[in-house]
């Protein structure tokens, strides 16, 4: 297949409001590679603003390169390119073997989805599907040697296209959609061939392909798979314990009823997750610790006597539990970890954090003065703070009664985190 057959061109996208450019995890990974690579956060901020204002024209995507024309505020056009290394034949062979080995990967790609497990399986055989630090190489008519506002704007615009079609990432790596699917079909057929019955050497000449429909319908086959259960709109209401005798000594009926109701809520949530697209390839979450489960149960709003028992048995003071519950309400176990863990980012993580901070505020916005300590950046002269999580997200905090309290859910933009209603008072 020639390069012309796999080149794809997209018309200019309309201006977009808000701060975000990518909704999918692979679109955010593309932008993370840009933000980790660029040395000047000011160039990223200007590029993001140009992309948001619709300064990027038509975008052409082909193996190893994405090209677009970006106009400055004075309407001067610049041809901008971003280069991404194509996979070698050996890398493609390993990647295609990984995809062909799991029917779920093929099904996801057909649905224009890219489950995280696919990228993890590819990495396990030495193929880094997503770009990393230094992988996005800029070339621009303005002759900047690093990422300039034009190549940054092109990258932000491409993130919007990647959200709609992850095949564009594979195209930049060297294979178009049709070529990729054809190769997967060949490999899948080759895997199925050894399991087909072999004809005897002295068999009669093959009959015409196919069989009469009557015979096909009459032949026994595997039983059909049962239909998945329907989604449940709301948790079920567990039956109230009842009987003609008093409960056994030590049995707290109210606590039992609360736990049954909590189990119904969790069952409804787990069923909804199981019926969602891509669930089969999602990682299994870690089991909760006793402390985490105590916080989770307290956040569910138990009756006062049960909340008191949870508080008395957790080994923490009431204020610690209250802060932990607030964190849980903003982000579950991940938010609780950020509340309780203070760590020092390594050089690479620190550089990524600083680039995000430098690019967080627009040209016409006044960036606050921040004081860093470990993974925590505190606004000088204000009771506001953002904490950098190990997953690269920012969590807002506000000082109340001399202690730092969680103020909202996490995000990838530290400026947006500080602007949350709970963080700005």
Q: Please indicate, yes or no, if residue 90 is contained in any of the structural domains.
A: yes
d(CA 296, CA 61): 46
**SS3 readout for 122-176:** HHHCCCCCCCCCCCCEEEECCCCCCCCHHHHHHHHHHHHHHHHCCHHHHHHCCCC
Q: Is residue 194 part of a domain?
A: no
pTM above 0.75, yes or no: no
Shared domain check, 76 and 26: yes
pLDDT, tens digit (0-9, with 9 covering 90-100), for 249-278 = 777 888 888 888 888 888 888 888 888 887
Q: Which DSSP letter does residue 411 get? A: B
- Number of folded domains in the chain? 3
User: Token pair for residue 46?
Assistant: 């200007």
On whether residue 234 sits in a domain, the answer given is: no
281-to-35, 70, 117, 260, 275 alpha-carbon distances in Å = 28, 38, 6, 29, 12
Query: In terms of domains, do 414 and 325 share one?
Result: no
State the Cα–Cα distance between residues 127 and 99, nearest whole angstrom.
Answer: 12
Instruction: Give CA–CA dist 20/52, Å, rounded.
Output: 10
Same domain for 182 and 51:
yes
Are 96 and 186 spatial neighbours (Cβ–Cβ below 8 Å)?
no
Bridge partners, residue 83, by sequence: 65, 137
- Local structure of residue 115 (DSSP, 8 states): -
Q: Are residues 327 and 363 in the same domain?
A: no
165: Cβ contacts below 8 Å, ≥ 6 apart: 112
Among 311, 340, 369, the domain boundary falls at 340
296 and 157 share a domain? no
Q: For tokens 């026994």, name the residue.
A: 220
215 located within any domain: no
| Last residue in a domain, options 162, 189, 216 | 189
C-alpha closest to that of 37 among 355, 389, 359: 355
* Residue 249 within a domain: no
pLDDT tens readout for residues 361-380: 887 778 899 999 999 999 99
What is the average per-residue pLDDT within 288-301?
Answer: 92
Q: Are residues 180 and 327 in the same domain?
A: no
Least confident of 173-187, 193-207, 371-385, 405-419: 193-207
Domain end residue (candidates: 295, 320, 340): 340
Residues 17 and 100 in one domain: yes
- Residue 232 inside a domain? The answer is no
Clarify whether residues 299 and 393 are in a common domain. Answer: no
Residue closest to 383 by CA, chosen among 368, 366, 365, 404 = 404
Residues 182 and 77 in one domain: yes
In a domain, 12, yes or no: yes
Q: With bands split at pLDDT 50, 70 and 90, how would you rate the model's confidence at 200?
A: very low
Summarize pLDDT for 61-89 with one digit per residue, the tens. Answer: 999 999 999 999 888 999 999 999 999 99
Asked whether residue 385 is assigned to any structural domain, the reply reads yes
Say whether both 69 and 105 belong to one domain. Answer: yes
**Do 295 and 400 belong to one domain?**
no
353 and 332 belong to one structural domain = no
pLDDT tens for 110-140 read 888 888 888 898 899 999 999 988 899 999 9
**Residue 376, H or E segment:** strand 376-379
**Surface-to-core class of residue 339, CB atoms within 10 Å of its CB (0-12 exposed, 13-18 middle, 19+ buried):** buried
Q: What residues make up the domain containing 114?
A: 3-189
């Amino acid at each position: 297949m020639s390069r012309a057959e796999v080149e794809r061109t997209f018309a200019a996208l309309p201006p977009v409001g808000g701060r975000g450019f990518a909704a999918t995890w692979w679109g955010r990974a593309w932008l993370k590679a840009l933000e980790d690579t660029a040395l000047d956060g000011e160039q990223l901020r200007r590029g993001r603003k140009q992309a948001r204002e619709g300064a990027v024209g038509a975008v052409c995507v082909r193996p190893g390169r994405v090209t677009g024309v970006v106009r400055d505020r004075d309407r001067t056009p610049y041809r901008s390119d971003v280069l991404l290394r194509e996979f070698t034949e050996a890398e493609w062979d390993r990647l295609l073997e990984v995809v062909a080995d799991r029917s779920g990967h093929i099904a996801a790609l057909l649905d224009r989805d890219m489950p995280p497990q696919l990228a993890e399986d590819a990495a396990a055989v030495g193929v880094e599907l997503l770009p990393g630090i230094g992988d996005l190489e800029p070339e621009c008519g303005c002759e900047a040697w690093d990422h300039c506002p034009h190549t940054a704007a092109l990258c932000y615009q491409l993130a919007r296209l990647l959200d709609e079609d992850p095949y564009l990432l594979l195209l930049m790596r060297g294979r178009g959609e049709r070529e990729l699917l054809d190769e997967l079909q060949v490999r899948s057929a080759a895997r199925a061939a050894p399991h087909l019955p072999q004809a005897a050497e002295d068999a009669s000449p093959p009959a015409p392909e196919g069989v009469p429909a009557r015979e096909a319908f009459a032949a026994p086959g595997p039983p059909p798979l049962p239909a998945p259960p329907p989604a449940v709109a709301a948790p079920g209401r567990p039956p109230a314990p009842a009987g003609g005798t008093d409960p056994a000594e030590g049995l707290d009926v109210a606590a039992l009823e609360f736990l049954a109701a909590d189990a119904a809520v969790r069952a409804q949530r787990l069923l909804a997750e199981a019926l969602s697209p891509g669930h089969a390839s999602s990682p299994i979450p870690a089991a909760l610790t006793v402390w985490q489960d105590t916080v989770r149960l307290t956040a569910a709003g138990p009756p006062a006597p049960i909340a008191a028992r949870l508080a008395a048995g957790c080994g923490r003071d009431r204020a610690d539990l209250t802060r932990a519950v607030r964190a849980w309400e903003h982000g579950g176990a991940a938010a609780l970890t950020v509340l309780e863990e203070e760590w020092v980012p390594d050089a690479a993580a620190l550089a990524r954090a600083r680039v995000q901070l430098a690019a967080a505020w627009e040209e016409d916005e006044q960036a606050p003065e921040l004081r860093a300590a470990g993974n925590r950046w505190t606004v000088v002269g204000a009771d506001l703070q953002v904490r950098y999580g190990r997953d690269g997200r920012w969590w807002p905090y506000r000082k109340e009664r001399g202690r730092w309290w969680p103020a909202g859910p996490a995000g990838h933009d530290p400026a947006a985190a500080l602007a949350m209603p709970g963080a700005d008072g």
